[in-house]
Amino acid sequence: MKIGFIGLGIMGKPMSKNLLKAGYEVVVMDRNQDAVGEVVKLGATSAETPKAVAALSDVIITMLPNSPQVREVALGENGLIEGARPGTIFIDMSSIAPLASREISQALAVKEIAMLDAPVSGGEPKAIDGTMSVMVGGDKAVFDKCYEIMKSMAGSVVHTGDIGAGNVTKLANQVIVALNIAAMSEALVLATKAGVDPDLVFQAIRGGLAGSTVLEAKAPMVMDRNFKPGFRIDLHIKDLANALDTSHGVGAQLPLTSLVMEMMQALKADGHGQSDHSAIARYYETLAKVEVTR
C-alpha cells in the first residue's frame, strides 16, 4: 500500500518517518524542501503537488495548520481531488473545525473518495516515538481499513463517531490541556510567590489527584525555562478559536476556555506566539512579578 503524506512540520515529519519504519511506501510533499529531503533520504519519494501525491497513493494523509490549508490541498487547484482515483482514502490528521471536515468530506464523496478526520494529541515527543493519541471520525468500515496505518504512528487510535467527531474530540482535548496548563501555572506561581520551592511542590503533588500527563510534561519545562515549542501558543489559539466557534454553534458555554484564550492572546501580543504553550506560566509570572525555577 502506498501512502501520500502532505505536511512535514513539527508533527508531520516524524509521523511520516514512522510510516516508513512500519514498512509502508510513502510519497511526501511540503513547501519546506529541507524537510522533504530529510524524509526522502530515509526511503520516501516526493511529489510536487497534492494532485501528484494523490495520483501515486492509495491513502493520503495531511498534517496541516488549519481548515483553509486542508481545504486548499483537498479541493483547490491541483488538489488531491483532481488526482485521486475512486476508492482512495483521505485521512486528515490536522486539527481543524469539525464543520470544515464535514464540508470537505461531502465534496470528496462526489468523486468516491472516502475521508476520515483523525486529529492527534501528544505533541512532538509522542509524534517522534509513535505514541500519540488519535481520535477519528468517519465511516467505521473505512476506519477499520486504515486502523493499522494510523496505529503505526500512535499508541492509541479510537473511533469516536461520524465525520467531524474526531475534531470535536480534539477540541475537547485542547480545552482540557489548556485549562490544565493554566491551573498548573497558577499553582506553581502561588508556591513561588509564597516562598516554597516549586520543584518540591511538583514532586509532592505529582502522585496525587493533581497529577496528570500535562503536569509531568509541562512543569519541568517551565522550571527549566525551556519554552521550545512542542506545541506552539499560536496553534493552541487556533484550536481554542475553533472550540469557541463550535461551542457557539451548538449552544455550549465555555467560560474558562474564554479566559485562557485571552491569556494566550496576551502572550501572543507580547511576542510569545511561537513559544510552547507551557509559556502560559509567563502570563502568571508577569502578574505576580516572580519566575518559576528549580
Q: Is 14 assigned to a binding site?
A: yes
Q: Is 215 assigned to a binding site?
A: no
The bridge status of strand 132-137 relative to strand 120-121 is antiparallel
Q: Is 132 assigned to a binding site?
A: no
Q: Is 8 assigned to a binding site?
A: yes
Report which of 63, 106, 62, 261 is spatially closest to residue 175, judged by C-alpha positions: 261
Compute the residue count for the chain: 294
* 102 contact partners, CB below 8 Å, separation of at least 6: 163, 164
Q: Is 5 assigned to a binding site?
A: yes
Q: Is 7 assigned to a binding site?
A: yes
Q: Is 13 assigned to a binding site?
A: yes
How far apart, in whole angstroms, are the C-alpha atoms of residue 243 and residue 248?
A: 9
Q: Give the CA dihedral 71, 261, 14, 5, nearest 10 degrees.
A: 0
Q: Is 60 assigned to a binding site?
A: no
Q: Is 9 assigned to a binding site?
A: yes
Q: Please give the full DSSP string across 142-207, using - where no structure is assigned.
A: HHHHHHHHHHTTEEEEEEEESTTHHHHHHHHHHHHHHHHHHHHHHHHHHHHHTT--HHHHHHHHTT
Q: Is 126 assigned to a binding site?
A: no
Report which DSSP code applies to 85: P
Residues annotated as catalytic are 170
Q: Is 83 assigned to a binding site?
A: no
* 142 contact partners, CB below 8 Å, separation of at least 6: 89, 114, 116
Angle at 176 between CA 100 and CA 147, to 5 degrees: 55
Q: Is 145 assigned to a binding site?
A: no
Ramachandran region, residue 195 (left: φ > 0; alpha: ψ -120 to 50; beta: rest): left
How far apart, in whole angstroms, are the C-alpha atoms of residue 230 and residue 202?
A: 21
First-residue to last-residue Cα distance in the chain: 49
Q: Is 137 assigned to a binding site?
A: no
Q: Is 10 assigned to a binding site?
A: yes
Annotated binding-site positions for NAD(+): 4-18, 95, 238
Annotated binding-site positions: 4-18, 95, 238
